[in-house]
C-alpha cells in the first residue's frame, strides 16, 4: 500500500496541474466513484495530508484521493483506469486495478474535520512523538495508528524502528527519551530516503529490513553511518 513517501511523490508529479482548468472529468467507475460536476473549475493547489491527496478547487471544495492498495496516477493513458482528469495543462489518469482507492469531493468543513483526527506530519518542523507516550500498545502497532503519526504504514514503521534499534514489540509508553529521539530521526530518515527515489520508487527501492525475511538486515548506508 502506498504510504507517505509514495503519496508525496504522486503529489510532486501532480503539481504539473496546479492552476490548470478542468476541461472534463472522465469517470469510468460510476458505481464506486460519485462526483459532482467539476468542469470549469481550476485546481488551485495539490497537497498531501498523511496518505491523502487533496486537490483544492476554485469553488472552495476539495477533490480528495486515497490510493489505498493499488491506486496510482499516470500521465500517459494506461490500458485501464477508473478516472481521468482532463485539463488544459495535461491529463492525469487514476489507475487502480483492485478498485480500493477512494475518490470524492468534500466541502471545506467536512475535509477539515476528517483531517483533524490525523496525527502530526513526520516531515514537519513541529513533528514530535508525544502521542506514543499515551499508549501501552507495541510501538510498531502504535506507529500504524494514523492519529499517532500521519502517513506511516507497515513498510516505514519497520524501517524506522530498525534504524532506531528498537524492537517492534516494545510497549510504546516505556520508550525512553533517548529512544524516542532515535525513532523520530529514524522515521524522518526512512521517509526522506524513500521520497528521494522519485517516480521509479517501486522499481528501484531497497529496504534494510522490510520484505527481507531470511536475508541479512541493513546495508552500506547505515554501516557507514549514513
Q: What is the pLDDT of residues 55-109, one digit of tens each?
A: 999 999 999 999 999 999 999 999 999 999 999 999 999 999 999 999 999 999 9
CA 190 to each of CA 47, 65, 159, 172, 224: distance values in angstroms, whole numbers, following the listed order: 21, 24, 6, 19, 16
Q: Which residues contact 70 (CB under 8 A, 6 or more apart)?
A: 95, 96, 97, 98, 100, 101
Architecture of domain 4-116: Alpha-Beta Barrel (3.20)
Nearest-10 crossing angle of helices 4-14, 177-196: 40
Q: Which three cell numbers stand for residue 223?
A: 554501516
Res 219: pLDDT: 57
On the question of pLDDT at 222 being above 50, the answer is no
> pLDDT digits over 102-142, tens only?
999 999 999 999 999 999 999 999 999 999 999 999 999 99
Domains of the chain, by residue range, sit at 4-116, 130-223
Residue 46, strand partner residues: 55
Query: For residues 209 and 197, what is the distance between their CA atoms, to the nearest angstrom?
Result: 17
pLDDT > 70 in the chain, percent: 96
Is the pLDDT higher at 152 or at 225? 152
**Average pLDDT over all residues of the chain:** 94
Collapsed DSSP state (helix, strand, coil) of residue 90: strand
pLDDT > 90 in the chain, percent: 92
Residue given cell 474535520 in the structure block: 113
Query: For residues 105 and 13, what is the distance between their CA atoms, to the nearest angstrom?
Result: 21
- Write the class of the CATH domain 130-223: mainly alpha
Res 226: pLDDT: 43
Q: How confident is the model at residue 212 (pLDDT cuts 50, 70, 90)?
A: confident
Report the pLDDT averaged over residues 163-179: 97
Query: For residues 226 and 224, what is the distance between their CA atoms, to the nearest angstrom?
Result: 6
Straight-line distance from the first to the last Cα atom of the chain, in angstroms, rounded to the nearest whole number = 26
Radius of gyration of the chain (CA): 19
On the question of pLDDT at 17 being above 70, the answer is yes
Amino acid at each position: 500500500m502506498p504510504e507517505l513517501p509514495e503519496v508525496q511523490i504522486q503529489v510532486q508529479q501532480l503539481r504539473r496541474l496546479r492552476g490548470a482548468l478542468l476541461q472534463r472529468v472522465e469517470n469510468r467507475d460510476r458505481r464506486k466513484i460519485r462526483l459532482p460536476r467539476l468542469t470549469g473549475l481550476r485546481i488551485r493547489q495539490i497537497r498531501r495530508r498523511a496518505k491523502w491527496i487533496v486537490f483544492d478547487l476554485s469553488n472552495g471544495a476539495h477533490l480528495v484521493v486515497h490510493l489505498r492498495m493499488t491506486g496510482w496516477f499516470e500521465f500517459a493513458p494506461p490500458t485501464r483506469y477508473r478516472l481521468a482528469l482532463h485539463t488544459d495543462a495535461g491529463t492525469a489518469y487514476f489507475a487502480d486495478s483492485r478498485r480500493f482507492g477512494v475518490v470524492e469531493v468534500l466541502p471545506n468543513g467536512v475535509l477539515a474535520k476528517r483531517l483533524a483526527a490525523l496525527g502530526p506530519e513526520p516531515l514537519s518542523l513541529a513533528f514530535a512523538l508525544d502521542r506514543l507516550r499515551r499508549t501501552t500498545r507495541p510501538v510498531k502497532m502504535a506507529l500504524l495508528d494514523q492519529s499517532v503519526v500521519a502517513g506511516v504504514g507497515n513498510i516505514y514503521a519497520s524501517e524506522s524502528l530498525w534504524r532506531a534499534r528498537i524492537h517492534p514489540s516494545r510497549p510504546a509508553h516505556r520508550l525512553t527519551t533517548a529512544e524516542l529521539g532515535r525513532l523520530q530521526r529514524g522515521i524522518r530518515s526512512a521517509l526522506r530516503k524513500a521520497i528521494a527515489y522519485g517516480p521509479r520508487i517501486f522499481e528501484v527501492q531497497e529496504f534494510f529490513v522490510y520484505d527481507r525475511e531470511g536475508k541479512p538486515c541493513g546495508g552500506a548506508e547505515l554501516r557507514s553511518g549514513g
